[in-house]
């Protein structure tokens, strides 16, 4: 029955997208927006366009992956530039940060939408609605459609169907913008974002799959999966990682013994 239920949801999603006629997909390269772009492309062809907004908060490695997967799908893909660091309410980094970030994205998409009949859609799934997400409030304000919600799709549903549809990133770990690594209340700067991005890129090259580098002033707090800790603690690797991150400007490098937590907040 599980498989039949998933297929019913997929049919519903295809119907919702077909009825829209033309869409702009807020496409980050994460599994939800990738799956949405894939199905939208299958239903609408060139009338489905993935739009990726690039800013100092968006890691270069995520952009590279988003480009690659869009090419694999064969979908139209547009990259636009923005800069949330020009928004004082975002830089302040309080509880409304994500609202201002998403509002900036949707404002940009509205500009691209002007003069067309395309509807703006995002990859919000049913599970997301149970979280406290200011970004969802921004989507409501800008009247952004969420077809995955309309089709009743959960996060686990998306991964299963993404695998069935042959998406190469079906098991991609959840990602969040680099600003989420900075403790709430600490102003966001381009220097800190750059340091975090380079630190995480180094750890990915070391072979770790789930990585967060939380920046607490001059302390780098590293989160990785618990099962990867044994390999992390190899003495030579520890020296290599410590040296690399201190070379980026961190005074101290620590490993969080609770491990990687998706969606975890940075605390002082």
**88-130: pLDDT as tens digits:** 999 999 999 999 999 999 999 999 998 899 999 999 999 988 7
Q: What fold, for 178-255?
A: 3.30.1340
- Give the C-alpha separation, 133 to 183, whole Å: 17
User: 196-235: per-residue pLDDT in tens?
Assistant: 999 999 999 999 988 999 999 999 999 999 999 999 999 9
**Please, where in the chain does CATH 3.30.1340 lie?**
178-255
User: 46-92: per-residue pLDDT in tens?
Assistant: 999 999 999 999 999 999 999 999 999 999 999 999 999 999 999 99
Confidence of residue 176 (pLDDT cuts 50, 70, 90): confident
Among 201, 189, 183, 178, residue whose Cα is nearest residue 248? 201
- What is the pLDDT, as a whole number, of residue 266? 44
Among 27, 11, 38, 18, residue whose Cα is nearest residue 159? 38
Residues near 54 by beta carbon (within 8 Å), at least 6 away in sequence: 63, 79, 80, 81, 82
**Please, where in the chain does CATH 3.40.50.620 lie?**
2-164
What pTM was estimated for this model as a whole?
A: 0.91
Cα Rg for the chain, rounded, in angstroms? Answer: 19
Q: Do residues 167 and 213 lie in contact, with contact meaning Cβ atoms separated by under 8 Å?
A: no
Average pLDDT over residues 247-253: 97
CATH, domain 2-164, list 3.40.50.720, 3.55.40.20, 3.30.365.10, 3.40.50.620: 3.40.50.620
SS3 content of the chain, % helix, strand, coil (to 5): 55, 15, 35
Confidence of residue 134 (pLDDT cuts 50, 70, 90): confident
């Amino acid at each position: 029955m599980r498989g039949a239920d998933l297929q019913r949801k997929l049919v519903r999603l295809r119907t919702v997208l077909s009825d829209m006629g033309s869409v702009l997909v807020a496409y980050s390269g994460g599994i939800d927006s990738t799956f949405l772009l894939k199905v939208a492309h299958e239903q609408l062809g060139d009338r489905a366009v993935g739009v990726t907004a690039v800013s100092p908060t968006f890691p270069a490695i995520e952009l590279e992956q988003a480009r690659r997967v869009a090419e694999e799908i064969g979908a139209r893909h547009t990259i636009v530039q923005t800069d949330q660091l020009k928004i004082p309410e975002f830089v302040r980094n309080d509880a409304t940060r994500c609202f201002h970030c998403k509002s900036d994205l949707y404002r940009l998409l509205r500009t691209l939408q002007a003069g067309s009949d395309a509807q703006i859609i995002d990859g919000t799934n049913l599970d997301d609605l149970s979280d406290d997400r200011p970004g969802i409030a921004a989507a409501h304000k800008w009247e952004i459609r969420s077809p995955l919600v309309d089709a009743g799709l959960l996060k686990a549903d998306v991964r299963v169907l993404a695998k069935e549809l042959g998406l190469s990133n079906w098991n991609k770990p959840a990602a969040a913008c680099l600003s989420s690594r900075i403790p709430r209340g600490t102003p966001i700067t381009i220097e800190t974002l750059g340091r975090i991005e380079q630190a995480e890129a180094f750890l990915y090259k070391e072979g770790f799959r789930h990585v967060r580098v939380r920046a607490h002033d001059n302390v780098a707090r590293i989160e990785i999966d618990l099962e990867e800790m044994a390999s992390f603690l190899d003495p030579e690797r520890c020296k290599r990682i410590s040296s690399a991150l201190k070379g980026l400007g961190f005074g101290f490098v620590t490993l969080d013994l609770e491990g990687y937590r998706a969606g975890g907040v940075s605390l002082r």
